[in-house]
Amino acid sequence: MGPALVEGPVEVVLADGSVRRSERPVVALCLCRRSRLYPFCDTSHRRRSRPTAPRSGRGTASSRPG
Ligand code: FES
């Protein structure tokens, strides 16, 4: 899921009552909650998590056959 693009400038009031403001003409609001700049998108939504494929062995380098 990507951001929601809204026409700026915007003021966003967060759940704790704090206010974030952006003066940009178009503002990307984070919908994934991974952004370090939340409530604004920092493109963290592009990062993919590793697949949970089963690992061979016990997962340590020392367990590899030599
Ligand atoms: S939508 Fe882009 S970081 Fe959350």
Q: What's the gap in Å between 49 CA and the centre of ligand 1?
A: 14
What are the tens digits of pLDDT across the range 17-46? 999 999 999 999 999 999 999 999 999 999
Does residue 37 have its Cβ closer than 6 Å to ligand 1?
A: no
Distance of CA 24 to the CA centre of its chain: 20
Decide whether any atom of ligand 1 lies within 6 Å of the 38 Cβ. Answer: no
What mean pLDDT value characterizes the chain? 85
Give me the percent of the chain exceeding a pLDDT of 90: 68
Give, as one character, the DSSP assignment of residue 36. T
Backbone angles phi, psi at 19, to 5 degrees: -120, 130
What does pTM read for this prediction?
0.71
Domain residue limits, the chain:
1-45
> How many angstroms separate the CA atoms of 46 and 14, rounded?
23
Measure 52 CA to ligand 1 centroid, in angstroms.
22
